[in-house]
Amino acid sequence: MRRSKAAGLIVAASVAIPAAALAQESPEFSLGTIDGLLSACTYHSENQAEVEYQFGSCIGFIRGVRVTMESISLAQGHAFSCPPGGATENGPLRDAVVEELRRTRADQLNISVFPVMDALRRLYPCPANHGAPTGH
pLDDT tens-place string over residues 21-31: 444 455 446 89
Q: What is the pLDDT of residue 106?
A: 67
3-state secondary structure labels for all residues of the chain: CCCCHHHHHHHHHHHCCCHHHHHHCCHHHCCCEHHHHHHHHCCCCCCHHHHHHHHHHHHHHHHHHHHHHHHHHHHHCCCCCCCHHHCCCHHHHHHHHHHHHHHCCCCCCCECHHHHHHHHHHHCCCCCCCCCCCCC
Mean pLDDT, range 36-62, rounded to an integer: 95
Q: What is the pLDDT of residue 16?
A: 41
Q: What is the pLDDT of residue 7?
A: 53
Distance CA(35)–CA(49), nearest Å, equals: 21
pTM above 0.85, yes or no: no
Higher per-residue pLDDT: 74 or 13: 74
Distance CA(81)–CA(30), nearest Å, equals: 25
pLDDT tens-place string over residues 95-135: 999 999 998 876 667 889 999 999 999 998 988 745 444 44
Q: What is the pLDDT of residue 23?
A: 40
Q: What is the pLDDT of residue 19?
A: 35
Domain ranges for the chain? 27-123
Distance CA(124)–CA(70), nearest Å, equals: 12
What does R_g of the chain's alpha carbons equal in angstroms? 15
111 DSSP β-pair partners: 33
